[in-house]
Structure 1
């Protein structure tokens, strides 16, 4: 088993999916131990650090990578199994940003209202208790919340030579911002270019479904993941599997189209797994699917269709690779 550790320097960050040269070439079967910076590049450290004065919108969501996977060709399936995610700092940051977020006018939902006031919150991390602490600014309320690490961005280079901002979610994955991208999950992405050129970043110490204000508890992250490759079988949209669920993420605007995408791809997945025709799969899905939101704030919104494995016939998803990688993860010593 090859193990690669990588902490990028700021001049090695990628800001796009596609268009960036790979930092490393790796073989399928490699385990990566990576550090990634937070979405703000560590520039929000105090409640007095406001986004308009501290952030450059051209340089948000820095990515660690991309990684060139040897043997990956268009039409293949890239498999990323997330083994561990651990906060790399003792604090995380969140903020309200002018004309950004789910409950304000934006450049896409134009209104005559004034922007909501800027505000920055700093969450203290207690690694021993595995909590982050919310502290209200207009009152004395303080709440200790369970830590729930996840990655907001996981993606490959897009098709057709496109270069997309690391703020964007789409068919290639990207800034999906789903809390389901967490330790124990396996992500399946369709390969669009030779080598796949995948990258990860945008660590969140916790985030609610939808990411309402547009920012989670943003924090630098230490991530351990295993990389595998399945020849052929590329999913059209990102798929996720954990021990208990199958999931598909669709990204689009309006939000109902993102939901429709995830539903259609799950119908197709049911056909692949169980030989169901579209109407039978559609009927079954109508009775058993959940529809968690991922984000309602990015350039595309992301919706998920989620189905419990316990409600489905036993099957080997992608040849049982999730179970194999879970077993592999159990053999690794902590970093």
Structure 2
């Protein structure tokens, strides 16, 4: 990312929740690049030596820390911040958890579960889930956004019109994200880095992994966006497509119910064909399976499909 001033922000410059009263830790000019060291979504509560007991003991007041905020010179309400995602420097450690009360099938999986991942931080080869399953990696930041116009502290958990906990796995290296500005300076923050995630993040966690990243912050005057939009530099599933997919469906008048059915049927299939425990199949689906709306026009029923990449078991 040439022809710009470079800045570095360390992970201790973090906060929890969106609040336009939080003073910026850095002001940049449009076109500047920033290297940011992000904490994982547990804020370090889960480590390579953690056990499932640590999942049950999580302090939810510390979930999803974001580094920032960063003020962009000249940004005013009605503009957009154009974020060009650069390279990631992964840590080699990650975790996936089933957190009671959280996730698409929270009523079915009520006990905590934890998978600790170790992966090659340089080669980024597929990470072992078990002796028979390996997950291709694709780093990205799950939480990326700007401050809201409304005063006060707003939860970091839901995505919002200015971005936030979007969990869009395609916001990886080379992607360009446009975020609507609602306050002077925009007040950009980022965190919740992932080594891999499926579309839908169905159990509520991906391969949560602390890592550093580099990005460029630009300003688009008068963009007047209602919600974020983004572009990708090329195909988005190439790292998973090589051996095709197994897919299950849910069909009915309720999209959430249909999504739950599609996922439940894939879990049943993985348990039957690969001998996984149901909760392990659930977590594995969250880090590499894709939940898609296949049809939403043929009243009264919609079709939701869940795609699981066969390359994981090759």
TM-score, length-normalised on structure 2? 0.70
Shift of 1:42: 1.9
Residue 281 of structure 2 aligns with which residue? Answer: none
State which of 74, 78, 83 in structure 1 corresponds to 2:86. 83
Kindly indicate whether the alpha-carbon contact (under 8 Å) linking 1:156 and 1:199 is maintained by their aligned counterparts in 2.
Answer: yes
Residue 170 of structure 1 aligns with which residue? Answer: 160
Q: Verify: 1:33 aligned to 2:27, yes or no.
A: no
Kindly indicate whether the alpha-carbon contact (under 8 Å) linking 2:56 and 2:112 is maintained by their aligned counterparts in 1.
Answer: no
**Cα distance change on mapping 1:51 and 1:221 into 2, 3 Å:** same
Q: Distance in 2 between matches of 1:94 and 1:60?
A: 14
State which of 201, 210, 225 in structure 2 corresponds to 1:220. 210
Shift of 1:91: 1.0
Shift of 1:235: 1.0
Structure 1's unaligned 5+ residue stretches are 106-112, 247-253, 257-290, 294-335
Q: Secondary structure at the match of 1:58?
A: helix
Q: Quick check: 224-233 or 237-246, which moved more?
A: 237-246
Alignment of 1:1-335 (within 5 A): 1-9=4-12, 12-19=13-20, 20-45=22-47, 46-87=49-90, 89-105=91-107, 116-136=110-130, 141-161=131-151, 163-244=153-234, 292=292
Output the aligned Cα RMSD. Answer: 2.2
Q: Deviation per CA, 1:5-38, whole angstroms, max 9, x where unpaired?
A: 11132xx311112242211111111100110000
**Cα distance change on mapping 1:95 and 1:84 into 2, 3 Å:** same
Q: Distance in 2 between matches of 1:292 and 1:155?
A: 24
Q: Distance in 1 between matches of 2:8 and 2:255?
A: 38
Shift of 1:47: 5.0
Q: Distance in 2 between matches of 1:49 and 1:118?
A: 6
**Cα distance change on mapping 1:86 and 1:175 into 2, 3 Å:** same
Shift of 1:123: 0.8
- The aligned length equals 237
Residue 300 of structure 2 aligns with which residue? Answer: none
**Cα distance change on mapping 1:51 and 1:97 into 2, 3 Å:** farther
**Cα distance change on mapping 1:174 and 1:190 into 2, 3 Å:** same
Q: Secondary structure at the match of 1:50?
A: helix
Residue 303 of structure 1 aligns with which residue? Answer: none
Residue 287 of structure 1 aligns with which residue? Answer: none
**Cα distance change on mapping 1:51 and 1:85 into 2, 3 Å:** same
**Cα distance change on mapping 1:209 and 1:62 into 2, 3 Å:** same
Structure 2's unaligned 5+ residue stretches are 237-253, 257-290, 294-314
**Cα distance change on mapping 1:7 and 1:132 into 2, 3 Å:** farther
Q: Secondary structure at the match of 1:211?
A: coil
Q: Distance in 1 between matches of 2:255 and 2:72?
A: 33
**Cα distance change on mapping 1:255 and 1:197 into 2, 3 Å:** farther
Q: Distance in 1 between matches of 2:126 and 2:59?
A: 26
Q: Distance in 1 between matches of 2:255 and 2:63?
A: 23
